[in-house]
Amino acid sequence: MSEPIRVVLADDHAVVRKGIRDFIEEAGDIVVVAEAADGDAALEAIRSERPDVAVLDIQMPHRTGIEVTRAVRDERLPVGVLVLTAYDDDPYVQAVLEAGANGYVLKNASSEEIVQAVHTVYEGQMALDPSIASKIVARWMSAGQAPPQPPEPRPSPREMDVLRLVARGMTNKAIAAQLKISERTVQGHIASLFSKLGVNSRTEAVVHAAQLGWVSLNE
pLDDT tens-digit profile of 51-82?
A: 999 999 999 999 999 999 999 988 888 899 99
pLDDT tens per residue, range 103-138:
888 888 888 888 888 988 888 777 777 667 666 666
What DSSP string runs through the chain? --SPEEEEEE-S-HHHHHHHHHHHHTTSSEEEEEEESSHHHHHHHHHHH--SEEEE-SS-SSS-HHHHHHHHHHTT---EEEEEES---HHHHHHHHHHT-SEEEETTS-HHHHHHHHHHHHTT--EE-HHHHHHHHHHHHHTTPPPPPPSSPPPPHHHHHHHHHHHTT--HHHHHHHHT--HHHHHHHHHHHHHHHT-SSHHHHHHHHHHTTSS-TT-
Q: Which fold has domain 144-211?
A: Arc Repressor Mutant, subunit A (1.10.10)
Residue type at position 118:
V
What architecture is domain 5-128?
3-Layer(aba) Sandwich (3.40)
CATH 3.40.50.2300 in the chain is located at: 5-128
Phi/psi at 176 (nearest 5 deg)?
-60, -45
pLDDT of residue 13: 92
- Domain(s) labelled CATH 1.10.10.10 in the chain stretch across 144-211
What are residue 47's phi and psi, to 5 degrees?
-65, -40
Instruction: Say if CB 43 and CB 68 are below 8 A apart.
Output: yes
- The alpha carbons of the chain give a radius of gyration, in whole angstroms, of 17
Return the higher-pLDDT residue of 101 and 217.
101
What is the residue-averaged pLDDT of the chain?
A: 83
Q: Per residue in 175-185, pLDDT tens? A: 899 999 998 89
**Structure confidence at residue 218 (pLDDT):** 55
Percent of the residues in the chain that have a pLDDT greater than 90, as a whole number: 35
